[in-house]
């Protein structure tokens, strides 16, 4: 879909998924790396736990459908080559500290001189300017400042982030949306566009109904463990089963079926069936009307029902009966999930050590322009000759100079 | 002269509901598209009956959960189980460039607004279908919310404390990941259509989009069998790395020491206490091995100050730190004020309410939501008369036939 377009990716781990999204959607992505490689190449987890060059799975996960070009932007030749690439590009994405690119003469103003139709996307923790623009930041502190941490965790311990970094990934996919929005505007105005992405605000949006709580209801939501807050009721969602945990949202028709099954299993007496209008039960609870069985009794009953069944039994039984019982999947469950296998989701990728692995597949199935992985993540500088030679027509000594591998 | 907006003139018939679909179409609406959000009165979009409600008073037109996701859109009601309503839906499909829906697979076909029907009416239409598991596969019929998909996608397993059951993200997490992907896919499909005139059908499974946020660890598992799990706030690669208690009621500051230089910075910020000079802590391996001790000592120091003072002391030494902010703190955040993140919009029933704004700003126009979310059926007349250009007789007939619902 985006095959007419070229993207220059100058990012590190904070932006690599942005250009990968555009690459998966068809764009030609040229990853411009410093002579030492993108910093993400030095981030774990590593293949065989060997923290060596070309072994980073962080890099491998977010750099497919890209070509790698090494450019030493500290040298004049390197910078000249970059500007030649900019002339041929449609998008630039960078994730340096606010103002850093401009400080090196590589910011939006310089780029638009080279290409008056360029879309320039900058990803930073807090945005390009403002009182917090230069705050030292990491995934954890952005999750804190953005708000979602305040909602997660149990009340008697510290608030928690998700145990894996997420902030740069949210900001990155958001940046791909910003890039395409700005591109649509550029087509109308014929003017270069600057897109200023703030990871903090991307994290705010992960709070969902939590982000506007105080301004409309006069009070914040607070962390409450594995529950969903419905009005004044905290409804526990996670129940322990035979081989792990499941998530069940016991409302409506699903609750009626669960009550039926509990009666069949002898967990509760038969009079439960008629004690309540179960599909409407949660409305009564929400409105604090009297009920025959309290919500705690109901949740205990659900817990008793799942206790001796496996995650997969519950999922399959629920699927057949239209009751959603979601396993708390670990990595093994995910890689073995029959549904993903039958949809052909996983792709087999050649790893840098010569072995192969299953990797997450394309984002969506499209009837007209199917997405595909045309290239697996490149080795550092794998396409320097190809891009600088074929695309820019540089000689081999000019290429050596520009890529920081020259004699001097 | 008003600003030129990126998607001005683009027309979207939005039959989606709850989270992912409406957030996706919101991007297009806020940035200029004409989006007609179609709802039924029974059942209501569940976000209309889930809070937070304006002044804590429940009501279908008082939920900011719904409102934040449906800015800049027209709102109409159609009872799609009624043949007259399906006729109106077909007019919308004929008018639109994009048709969006987020029902359980098969639902749109049974309602008479499936892709084959839509394409027959409008050959170049782009139809975006999104659901938890995708349109095909053995679990396609799995209906539910982002809580369910978040659990199946692994996010419960990795959120919380190692000695406690999974905590889960507080929200329906896959609803926060998926709209970003789907909006990008839709914008790319629109660009393709602009150049070729070709429409198509998009099957976007929220599970499949969301798994990309776990990609390094999924690949690691496949290669080494190592399964990542929840670990509070700790990192495999950095220490200390956590949220530390501060002065005040349930106040916290997050601190991430990424390297040995920052560890030295943290010591300076604390005033070089003796405990921190322990050689065991000088390098990351030692700090990772002694996290309990470091966390407890660091917590003693943070406890003596409000979170802002802790954050500023650490920033002064180049150490990443951030207050754990609540929604009330966000309203006061000077950086968000600088960006104009929250926007006051006037809602027909709720009055003026601050809406959460965009995560990116684009030069050249005011990148912000343009109007408040519609109350239920707010634009029934306007859409039928002005957008679909139905005659007074046709509108009356549709109403009498019950097309607009009860």
Question: Would you say residue B118 lies in a domain?
Answer: yes
Phi, psi of B49 (to 5 degrees): -110, 5
Which CATH architecture group holds A6-207+375-402? 3-Layer(aba) Sandwich (3.40)
Tell me if chain A has a CB within 8 Å of the CB of B284. Answer: no
Among A158, A177, A246, the residue with its CB nearest the CB of B184 is A177
Q: Does the pLDDT at position A408 exceed 50?
A: no
**Which tens digit of pLDDT belongs to each residue from A282-336?**
888 877 889 999 999 999 999 999 999 999 999 999 999 999 999 999 999 999 9
**pLDDT tens string B24-74:** 999 999 999 999 999 999 889 999 988 899 999 999 999 999 999 999 999
Q: ipTM greater than 0.90, yes or no? A: yes
Predicted pLDDT of residue A406 = 60
Across the interface, whether the CB atoms of B212 and A129 are under 8 A apart is answered no
CB contact residues (below 8 A), chain B span 307-326, against chain A: 314-315, 318-326
Is the CB of B219 less than 8 angstroms away from the CB of A225?
no
Looking at the domain that runs over A226-329, which CATH code has it been given? Answer: 3.30.1540
Q: Round to whole Å and give the CA distance between A208 and A213.
A: 10
First to last CA, chain B: 42
Q: What would the mean pLDDT of B389-403 be, rounded to a whole number?
A: 97
**A158 is written with which tokens?**
């510290």
Q: Beta strand pairing status for A193-198 and B360-362?
A: antiparallel
Closest residue by Cα to residue B104 from B17, B210, B212? B17
CB count in 10 Å sphere of residue B290: 16
Instruction: Assess A376–B contact: CB distance below 8 Å, yes or no.
Output: no
Confidence band (pLDDT; 50, 70, 90) for B279? very high
- Do B129 and B187 lie in one domain? The reply is yes
User: Is residue B247 over pLDDT 50?
Assistant: yes
Q: Does the pLDDT at position B150 exceed 80?
A: yes
pLDDT at A184: 98
> Is residue B230 a part of any domain in this protein?
no
Asked if residue B271 and residue B362 are part of one domain, the reply reads no
For residue A299 the two structure tokens come to 């949740």
- In tens, the pLDDT along A17-26 reads 999 999 999 9
Residue A288: the pLDDT is 82
B180 plus B134 within the same structural domain: yes
**What are the structural domain ranges in chain A?**
6-207+375-402, 226-329
Residue A144 near chain B (CB below 8 Å): yes
Helix (H) or strand (E) holding B221: helix B215-224
Rounded to an integer, what distance in angstroms lies between the CA atom of residue A237 and that of residue B171? 12
User: What is the C-alpha separation between A304 and A372, in angstroms, rounded?
Assistant: 45
Interface test with A, best of B360, B363, B364, B365 (most A CBs within 10 A): B360
* Residue B169 and residue B195 share a domain: yes
User: Which region holds residue B32: left if phi is over 0, alpha if psi is between -120 and 50, else beta?
Assistant: left
Q: Are residues B101 and B128 in the same domain?
A: yes
What's the average model confidence in pLDDT over B177-198? Answer: 98
Which CATH number do you get for residue B388? 3.40.50.10540
Q: What's the domain range around B164?
A: 11-213+337-400
Mind listing the pLDDT tens digit for each residue in A223-264? 998 888 776 778 899 999 999 999 999 888 899 999 999 999
- Indicate yes or no: CB of B156 within 8 angstroms of CB of A247: yes
Same domain, residue pair B192 and B72: yes
- Report the pLDDT averaged over residues B300-325: 98
CB-nearest partner of A335 from B155, B222, B359 = B222
**Residue A291 is encoded by which pair of tokens?**
């009920």
Which residue from A190, A202, A153, A197 is spatially nearest to A175, judged by alpha carbons?
Answer: A197
Regarding whether B387 and B269 lie in a shared domain, the answer is no
Chain A contacts of B333, Cβ < 8 Å?
Answer: 145
- Nearest chain B residue to A193 by CA distance is B363
DSSP string, A164-219: S--HHHHHHHHHHHHHHHHHHHHHHH---EEEEEEHHHHHHHTTGGGTTHHHHHSS
Across chain A, mean pLDDT equals 95
Phi, psi of A141, rounded to the nearest 5 degrees:
-75, -30
Stretch A64-70: mean pLDDT: 98
B150: nearest Cα among B136, B164, B167: B167
Answer yes or no: are the C-beta atoms of A239 and A303 closer than 8 Å.
yes
| Cβ neighbour number for residue A129 with a 10 Å cutoff | 15
Closest by CA to B141, choosing from A311, A316, A312, A361, is: A316
- Non-local CB neighbours of A336 within 8 Å, separated by 6+ positions: none
Same domain for B277 and B348, yes or no, is no
Which of B296, B324, B352 is the last residue in one of the domains? Answer: B324
Of A84, A19, A26, nearest in space to A368 by CA: A26
Helix (H) or strand (E) holding B66: helix B64-69
Question: Which chain B residue is nearest to residue A192, measuring alpha carbons?
Answer: B363
A157 close contact with B: CB closer than 8 A:
yes
Among candidate residues B86, B97, B82, the one with its CA nearest the CA of residue B13: B97
Q: Tokens 């145990």 label which residue?
A: A163
Neighboring chain A residues of B197 at a CB cutoff of 8 Å: none
| Domain count across chain B | 2
Can you list the positions of beta strands (E) in B57-97? 74-77
Q: What is the CATH number of the domain that holds B296?
A: 3.30.1540.10
Asked whether residue B218 is domain-assigned, the answer is no
Q: Is A132 at the interface with chain B, CB within 8 A?
A: yes
Question: Which of A24, A178, A316 to mutate to probe the B interface, most B CBs <10 Å?
Answer: A178
What DSSP letter does each residue of B322-384 carry, written as one string? EE---HHHHHH-HHHHHHT-SEEEEETTTEEEEEP--SEEETTS--S--SPPPPTTTTHHHII
C-alpha distance from B206 to closest chain A C-alpha (Å):
9
Q: Is B344 on the interface with A (CB under 8 A)?
A: no
In B142-240, where do the E strands start and end? 200-205
- Please identify which of the residues B14, B55, B175, B250 carries the catalytic annotation: B175
**Confidence class for position A50, pLDDT limits 50, 70, 90:** confident
To the nearest whole angstrom, how far is the Cα of A321 from the nearest Cα of chain B? Answer: 10
Residue A404, pLDDT > 90, answer: no
Give A71-116 pLDDT, tens digit per residue. Answer: 999 999 999 999 999 999 999 999 999 999 999 999 999 999 999 9
pLDDT at residue A42 greater than cutoff 60: yes
Of A1, A43, A247, the CB nearest to B151: A247
Look at residue B406 in the predicted model and tell me its pLDDT: 64
d(CA B362, CA A235): 41
Residue B329 lies in a domain: no
Structure tokens, A97: 């500290």
Please confirm whether the linkage preceding B97 is cis (ω < 30° from 0): no
How far, in Å, are A252, B91, B93, B187, B300 from residue B390 at the CA level? 38, 9, 14, 30, 70
CB A66 within 8 A of CB A19: yes
Residue B299 falls within a domain, yes or no?
yes
| B28 and B159 within one domain | yes
Residues B160-165: what's their mean pLDDT? 97
- Tens of pLDDT, residues A107-131: 999 999 999 999 999 999 999 999 9
CA distance A83 to chain B (A): 22
**B229 found inside a domain:** no
> Are residues A319 and B135, on separate chains, in Cβ contact within 8 Å?
no
Query: Which residues 6+ apart lie within 8 Å of B368 measured at CB?
Result: B30, B340, B343, B357, B358
Beta-sheet pairing, B321-323 with A119-124: unpaired
Q: Does the beta-carbon distance from A1 to B145 stay under 8 Å? A: no
Q: Using pLDDT thresholds of 50, 70 and 90, give the confidence band for residue B1.
A: low
Answer whether residue B4 is part of any domain: no
**Dihedral over alpha carbons B338, B339, B342, B344 (to 10 degrees):** 80
Candidates A303, A194, A188; CA nearest to A239 is A303
- Chain A contact for B176, CB < 8 A? yes
pLDDT, mean of residues A397-408? 80
Beta-carbon contacts of A209 under 8 Å, excluding residues fewer than 6 positions away, are A221, B47, B50, B51, B52, B64, B65, B171
Same domain, B267 and B159: no
On the question of a cis peptide bond just before residue B240, with omega within 30 degrees of 0, the verdict is yes
Q: How many CB pairs under 8 A join A and B?
A: 514
- Percentage above 90 pLDDT, chain A: 89
Same domain, residue pair B255 and B149? no
Looking at residue B259, what is its pLDDT?
97
In-domain check, residue B172: yes
What tokens were used for B381? 């007349």
User: Active-site residue B175, yes or no?
Assistant: yes
B166 near A CB under 8 A: yes
Answer yes or no: is pLDDT of A139 > 70.
Answer: yes
- Mean of per-residue pLDDT scores for chain B: 96
Which among A162, A167, A344 is the top mutation candidate for probing chain B, defined by the most B β-carbons within 10 Å of its own β-carbon?
A: A162
Say if the Cβ atoms of A361 and B208 lie within 8 Å: yes
Q: In Å, what is the CA distance from A289 to each residue of A292, A391, B394?
A: 10, 72, 44
| Chain A residues closer than 8 Å to B238 by CB | 138
Q: Does A26 touch chain B (CB under 8 A)?
A: yes
Strand partners, A228: A235
pLDDT more than 70, % of chain B = 99
Burial class (CB in 10 A: 0-12, 13-18, 19+), A7: buried
Residue B266: pLDDT band with limits 50, 70, 90: very high
Residue A262 structure tokens:
């509990």
Identify the pLDDT of residue A352: 87
Q: Which helix (H) or strand (E) holds B36?
A: strand B34-39
Side-chain-facing half-sphere of B325: CA atoms under 13 Å: 31
Q: Is B274 exposed, middle or buried (0-12, 13-18, 19+ CB in 10 A)?
A: exposed
| Bridge partners of residue B243, in order along the sequence | B254
For residue B25, give both structure tokens.
């179409």
Q: Is the domain of B247 the same as that of B315? A: yes
With beta carbons under 8 A apart, name residues in chain B contacting A130: 334-335, 338-339
Closest partner CB to B159 (pick from A47, A162, A230): A162
Q: Secondary structure of chain A: what % helix, strand, coil (to 5)?
A: 40, 15, 45
A203 burial level (CB within 10 Å; 0-12, 13-18, 19+): buried
């Amino acid at each position: 879909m985006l095959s007419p377009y070229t993207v220059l990716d100058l990012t590190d781990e904070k932006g690599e998924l942005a250009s990968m999204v555009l690459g998966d959607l068809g764009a030609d992505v040229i990853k411009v790396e410093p002579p030492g490689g993108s910093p993400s190449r030095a981030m774990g987890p590593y293949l065989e736990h060997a923290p060596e060059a070309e072994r980073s799975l962080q890099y491998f996960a977010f750099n497919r459908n890209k070509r790698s070009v090494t450019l030493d932007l500290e040298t004049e030749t390197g910078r000249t080559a970059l500007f030649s690439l900019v002339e041929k590009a449609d998008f630039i994405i960078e994730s340096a500290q606010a103002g850093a690119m401009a400080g090196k003469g590589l910011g939006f103003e310089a780029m638009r001189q080279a290409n008056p139709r360029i879309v320039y996307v900058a990803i930073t923790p807090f945005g390009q300017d403002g009182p917090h623009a230069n705050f030292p930041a990491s995934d954890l502190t952005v999750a804190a400042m953005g708000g979602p941490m305040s909602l997660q965790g149990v009340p008697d311990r510290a608030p928690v982030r998700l145990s894996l970094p997420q902030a740069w990934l949210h900001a990155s996919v958001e940046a791909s949306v910003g890039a395409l929005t700005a591109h649509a505007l550029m087509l109308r105005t014929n003017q270069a566009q600057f897109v200023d992405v703030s990871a903090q605000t991307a994290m705010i949006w992960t709070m969902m109904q939590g982000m506007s709580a105080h301004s409309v209801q006069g009070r914040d939501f607070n962390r409450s463990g594995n529950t969903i807050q419905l009005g004044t009721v905290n409804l526990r969602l996670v129940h322990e089963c035979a081989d792990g945990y499941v998530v069940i949202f016991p409302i409506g028709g699903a609750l009626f079926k669960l009550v039926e099954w509990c009666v069949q299993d002898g967990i509760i007496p038969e009079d439960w069936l008629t004690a309540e209008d179960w599909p409407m039960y949660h409305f009564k609870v929400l409105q604090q009307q009297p009920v025959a069985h309290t919500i705690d009794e109901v949740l205990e009953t659900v817990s008793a029902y799942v206790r001796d069944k496996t995650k997969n039994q519950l999922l399959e039984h629920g699927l057949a009966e239209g009751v959603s019982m979601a396993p708390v999947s670990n990595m093994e469950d995910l890689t073995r999930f029959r549904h993903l296998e039958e949809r052909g989701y996983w792709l087999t990728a050649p790893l840098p050590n010569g072995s192969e692995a299953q990797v997450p597949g394309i984002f969506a199935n499209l009837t007209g322009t199917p997405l595909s992985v045309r290239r697996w993540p490149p080795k550092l500088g794998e396409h320097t000759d190809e891009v600088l030679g074929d695309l820019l027509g540089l000689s081999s000594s000019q290429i050596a100079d520009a890529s920081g591998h020259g004699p001097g | 002269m008003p600003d030129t907006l990126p998607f001005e003139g683009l027309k979207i018939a939005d039959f989606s509901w709850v989270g992912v679909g409406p957030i996706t179409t919101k991007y297009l609406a806020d940035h200029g598209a004409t989006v007609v959000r179609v709802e039924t009165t029974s059942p209501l979009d569940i976000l209309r009956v889930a809070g937070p409600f304006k002044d804590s008073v429940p009501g279908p037109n008082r939920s900011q959960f719904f409102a934040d996701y449906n800015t800049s859109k027209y709102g109409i009601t159609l009872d799609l189980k009624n043949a007259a309503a399906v006729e109106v839906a077909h007019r919308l499909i004929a008018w639109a460039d994009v048709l969006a829906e987020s029902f359980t697979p098969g639902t749109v076909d049974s309602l008479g607004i499936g892709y084959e029907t839509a394409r027959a009416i409008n050959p170049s239409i782009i139809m975006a279908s999104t659901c938890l598991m995708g349109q095909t596969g053995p679990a396609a019929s799995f209906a539910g919310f982002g809580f369910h998909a978040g659990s199946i996608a692994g996010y419960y397993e990795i959120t919380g404390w190692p000695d406690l059951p999974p905590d889960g993200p507080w929200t329906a997490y896959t609803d926060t990941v998926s709209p970003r992907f789907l909006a990008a896919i839709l914008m790319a499909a629109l660009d393709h259509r602009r150049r070729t005139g070709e429409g198509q059908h998009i099957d976007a499974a929220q599970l499949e989009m969301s798994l990309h946020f776990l990609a390094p660890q999924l690949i690691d598992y496949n290669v080494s069998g190592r399964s990542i799990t929840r670990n509070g706030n700790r990192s495999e690669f950095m220490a200390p790395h956590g949220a530390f208690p501060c002065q005040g009621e349930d106040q916290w500051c997050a601190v991430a020491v990424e390297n040995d230089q920052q560890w030295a910075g943290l010591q300076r910020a604390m005033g070089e206490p003796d405990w921190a000079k322990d050689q065991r802590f000088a390098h990351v391996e030692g700090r990772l091995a002694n996290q309990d001790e470091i966390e407890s000592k660091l917590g003693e120091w943070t406890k003596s100050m409000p979170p802002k003072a802790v954050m500023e002391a650490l920033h002064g030494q180049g150490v990443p730190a951030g207050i754990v902010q609540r929604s009330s703190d966000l309203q006061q955040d000077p950086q968000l004020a600088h960006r104009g993140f929250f926007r006051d919009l006037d809602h027909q029933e709720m009055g003026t309410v601050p809406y959460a704004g965009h995560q990116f700003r684009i030069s050249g126009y005011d990148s912000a939501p343009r109007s408040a979310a519609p109350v239920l059926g707010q634009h029934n007349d306007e859409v039928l008369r002005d957008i679909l250009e139905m005659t007074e007789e046709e509108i009356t007939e549709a109403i009498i036939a019950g097309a607009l619902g009860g």
